[in-house]
Amino acid sequence: MPKRTIFTYMANHTVITGTGCYIPPIVKTNKEFVGQTFYAEDEKKIDAPGEEIVQKFKEITGIAERRYAEEKTTASDMAVWAAQQAIAESGVNPEELDQLIVAHNFGNVVKGTIQTDVLPALASRVKHELGIKNPACVAYDILFGCPGWIQGVIQADAFMKAGIAKKALVIGTETLSRVVDKFDRDSMIFADGAGAAILEYQPANNGSAGILSASVQSHCVDEAYYLFFGKSNKPESDEDVRYIKMKGRKVYEYAMQNVPAAMKDCLDKAGVSITDVKKVFIHQANEKMDEGIIKRLFRLYGLKETPEHIMPMSIHELGNSSVATVPTLFDQVRKGHWKEHELHPGDIVLFASVGAGMNINAVCYRM
């Protein structure tokens, strides 16, 4: 793995001062997929009983249900609602924001269509809906696969360390339910949602809150098309209509091999041991994969056992909402949504994600 220092300790730290999320109201349970006809990549019908397909899916991914946005709700709508919560909690004046970053993959997709809309950019729409008039608040989108929100945090931190920004709003939002092929079993993985955070550059001292380090990688040789846009698995489907597709086994193998090492690289840059980490907020893609990544991370430190509650999981109820999974989960834990998970000042947490590109990133943060 290539080694390079991205960030080091400085006189100031980038601190998360407010978070928010939007959980769509429509619950789509696994039972609702039992009667669906599925086809494999070779367009051959999967003849296994629906109950068996759904049960096997749950055993592998951990997903029992997922959330879908209402018909007239767009990704930018959800981004605004999550942002409003983060702004309110932080107490920041929106007119003082220097950066407004929105991570997504497909822009706004109108229900019932497969056409993405990114004109204007979602960040421009969010800034408009928030009523921010200050032209010095730079609004832009970021496309980085599922690690998009974490990458937005890393970019905001870099701008702050460069002296270009002091306050930023970073949002992850997605309506994946509108770009899935219902004849593909992988369609059961994806969900909708949005999460947001306010970041501010504040004076640092020993033990103060803030970003400690970051690590980012892009593998774009054989791995570039592990996730892609492709035609439906259904025979004789329209060749011109495309959906999100995934080479599941390839993604799993890639993640297991590369993500733990990238996470360790991030901790090493911060001078932090895995035993000092209170929580790991990892992209909610697949329960078995995430559990495997954490186990391998601990093995890199020569440890065979992992703490029972180190990894909060929301995938069982919310599914995989791509860029929204990490900020949504972080917001929920911060606000006491999960009884078995608590955060206190001084706790060290690790954010990590993997996704289309293929891209990996991680951030070490002190609460």
Task: Give the CATH number for residue 287.
Answer: 3.40.47.10
Which pLDDT does position 340 carry in this prediction? 86
Give the range among 90-104, 131-145, 205-219 with minimum mean pLDDT: 205-219
- Prediction pTM value: 0.93
Q: What is the count of structural domains for the chain?
A: 2
Comparing 9 with 342, the larger pLDDT belongs to: 342
What's the start-to-end Cα distance of the chain, in Å? 29
Query: Pairing mode, if any, of strands 348-355 and 359-366?
Result: antiparallel
Range of the domain at 150: 13-203
- Residue 220: alpha-carbon gap to chain centroid: 20
- Each residue's pLDDT tens digit, 292-301: 999 999 999 9
Residue 267 lies in a domain: yes
- Residue 2 inside a domain? The answer is no
Average pLDDT of the segment spanning 112-123: 89
**Predicted local distance difference test score (pLDDT) of residue 2:** 43
Tell me: pLDDT of 177 over 70: yes
Answer with the one of 180, 203, 226 that is the final residue of a domain.
203
Instruction: Find the range with the poorest average confidence among 113-122, 123-132, 285-294.
Output: 113-122
What's the pLDDT score for residue 80?
Answer: 98
Go through 66-100 and write b for each residue having 16 or more CB atoms within 10 A of its CB, e for each that does not. Answer: bbbbeeebbbbbbbbbbbbbbbebbebebeebbbb
Q: Residue 363's CB: how many other CB atoms inside 10 A?
A: 27
Same domain, 61 and 149: yes
pLDDT per residue as tens digits for the range 178-217: 999 999 999 999 999 999 999 999 987 766 889 999 999 9
